[in-house]
Amino acid sequence: SQQGEEDPQALSIQEGENATMNCSYKTSINNLQWYRQNSGRGLVHLILIRSNEREKHSGRLRVTLDTSKKSSSLLITASRAADTASYFCATRPRDTGRRALTFGSGTRLQVQP
């Protein structure tokens, strides 16, 4: 099974509303990252939160991390039609020596104009 699992799988909202996506993971991590993918394109890094951080902001993005629950959330405030994309969380496991990130299956966000 995936290390990172996003919830919900799909989300449809109106422009101006907030969008919240959740990610759960199974093992201890060094950091958790969120990426965005426009349809048919590569992934673009949005934000990284380290295991000793609880909250981080970047523009209209707010990420929280709860290591006791092994979960993270990504909040996009005042959404725009251009935010329509898939969003993935990715984890860097701790103490495994694994160099690659482990990605979840993503949340598809549709923002209606």
Partner 1 sequence: DVKVTQSSRYLVKRTGEKVFLECVQDMDHENMFWYRQDPGLGLRLIYFSYDVKMKEKGDIPEGYSVSREKKERFSLILESASTNQTSMYLCASYGINTDTQYFGPGTRLTVL
Question: DSSP strand E in the chain: where?
Answer: 5-7, 10-14, 19-24, 29-37, 43-50, 55-58, 61-66, 71-76, 85-93, 102-103, 107-112
Binder to partner 1 among 25, 34, 87, 88 (CB under 8 A)?
88
1 lies in the site for partner 1, by CB under 8 A: no
Contacts of 64 (CB under 8 A, 6+ apart): 49, 54, 55, 72, 73, 75
Looking only at the bridges linking them, the beta strands covering 107-112 and 10-14 are parallel
* Options 13-21, 31-39, 55-63, 64-72: segment touching partner 1 (CB under 8 A): 31-39
22 lies in the site for partner 1, by CB under 8 A: no
* Options 12-20, 29-37, 51-59, 64-72: segment touching partner 1 (CB under 8 A): 29-37
- Cis omega (within 30 of 0) on the bond before 93? no
Give the nearest distance from C-beta 59 to partner 1 in angstroms: 16
Binder to partner 1 among 27, 28, 44, 82 (CB under 8 A)?
44
Binding site for partner 1 (CB under 8 A): 2, 30-31, 33, 35, 40-45, 48, 88, 90, 92, 99-101, 103-106
